[in-house]
Amino acid sequence: MISTTRKLLVLLMLVCSLGQAADFPPIYKDDYLEYWRNRYQPSLQWNFENLVIGSLTTEEKRQLGPVKLSLPLRAAGELASDPLVFYAADRKIVFPIQSVKFFDDLSLAWAYAWANNRSLENVTDYVAMLKYRKPPAGGFPEPLTALGVAPDAWKQDPKVDDVSQKILKSAMVWIMAHEVAHILYRHPGYGGGVSAKQAQGNEAQADQFANEIMRRIGVAPGGMANFFMMMAHWSPNRGDFSSDKSWSRYLSHKATHPFTGQRMQLMADYLGRHAGDYSAEEPDKARAAKNVRYIASQLELIASILNDSDIQRSIAAKARANDPSGLSYDPEQHTSKQQMNSSTAFQGNYRGSFIHFVGNEQETLSLELQLKRRNQQVSGSFNFGLGQGSLDGVVVGKQLRFQWVWGDAFGRGLLDSEPQGLKGTIGYDQNNSNAGRWSLSR
């Protein structure tokens, strides 16, 4: 007879299946994007003409020939619902306004979290949620709505304004230069006949050219690292495929911009070697070089995500367990400031038991739980003797509502604060009670 512990392991491995979410309803309406096209167009056009084309040598301009910047509301064809796509086509650099606005919103949310010492993971968790979860009836909320960041947060804090603008502007210029490189070097469109090795070589060449343009401008490519961190949570990766063969087939026949750990590591190595070359606009050269080395370290972090399919599957599992209500930075959305500041629950180390349900049987396992609380947000890890899992949640009154991830498995849970400790239930997938009960004390 199979032990209940073994049944637990088998069940947890079967609960999850991998795969990217299908097309979803537009995040932004057309009239809203039209408004933002009018706002973005002057700045994008100026950056394209002066910082990218204007930084080319005479010979590069001759080889490139005439190239225009195109600003449609959305990408063409099957890419129309993709919120993070930029590309070159028919001697045009295509910058869909939907993608510009989406990244602008993510940049503002990222800067807000950084300035207020909040978790940056909420931003990337939101992106992964779009990838892996089916959209609700009304569609997914916009980034700033889901993350509880005011659209005018940049007005309220100069640091937020400064950081968000640097992320957005440097990323847009870097991406423009990358796409110009594809035309300059006459890279073929990807698909049948272009090997994965050739495609990745083309991307590396375009990456290096974009870095060179940023060097000529004298600005660190910091926004590029933010963009690729978002892409690491959005683009298809090895963890989404059943085998190395199917992953290689995707890279060779479908990937429009092959996104691999090797590509990120090459850029990290390049920036590390040339850290002092991006300081023309910075009065403190040593500080500027340190900043570039930090950007290189972030690219190495992205490479580690792209090189580890277990990390990728954990991201997918957590995304499927997340919902927008648990990602918001807005403290008033869930509980009062008085509750946040006065409560000491859901903080520290706990021990107890996990009563696991397997059909009509039950098994009691020892459980250890470590929680860290910041305002209403709680993160932590748990261990019941079969490896460590993680959880993230939000405090509502005297209850912690959380999502958990263990290996490829994921689910939800509820924990109530009681004088003796914590008690509650956990469940698989979108259920919060069909897996078992937790009972813990400090």
Contact between 408 and 16 (Cβ < 8 Å): yes
Residues in the chain: 442
Q: Which tens digits make up the pLDDT trace of 411-427?
A: 889 999 888 789 999 98
Which pLDDT score, from 0 to 100, does residue 227 have?
A: 96
Q: Which CATH architecture has domain 331-441?
A: Beta Barrel (2.40)
Mean pLDDT, the chain, whole residue set: 84
**Residue pair 426/433 in contact by the 8 Å Cβ criterion:** yes
Residue-wise pLDDT for 306-345, tens only, equals: 888 888 888 888 888 777 777 888 744 434 333 333 356 8
* CB-based contacts of 432, cutoff 8 Å, min separation 6: 401, 411, 412, 413, 414, 425, 426
Q: Which range is most confident: 46-50, 196-200, 232-236?
A: 46-50
95: its two tokens? 């910058």
Residue range 356-363: average pLDDT?
Answer: 78
Whether the full predicted model's pTM is greater than 0.75, yes or no, is no
Place of tokens 């989404």: 240
Residue range 374-383, pLDDT digits in tens:
877 888 889 8
DSSP state of 235: S
Task: Give me the phi and psi of 83, to 5 degrees please.
Answer: -90, 0
**Confidence bin at 256 (pLDDT 50/70/90):** low
Phi first, then psi, for residue 396 (nearest 5°) are -120, 105
Tokens for 322? 């997340």
> Where in the chain do CATH 2.40.160.90 domains reside?
331-441
Two structure tokens written together for 404 = 């958990």
CA gap 417, 339 in Å, rounded:
13
Backbone phi, then psi, for 76, in 5-degree steps? -85, 155
Ramachandran region, residue 348 (left: φ > 0; alpha: ψ -120 to 50; beta: rest): left
Residue 182 token pair: 């594809």
| Rounded to 5°, angle at Cα 166 from 163 and 172 | 140
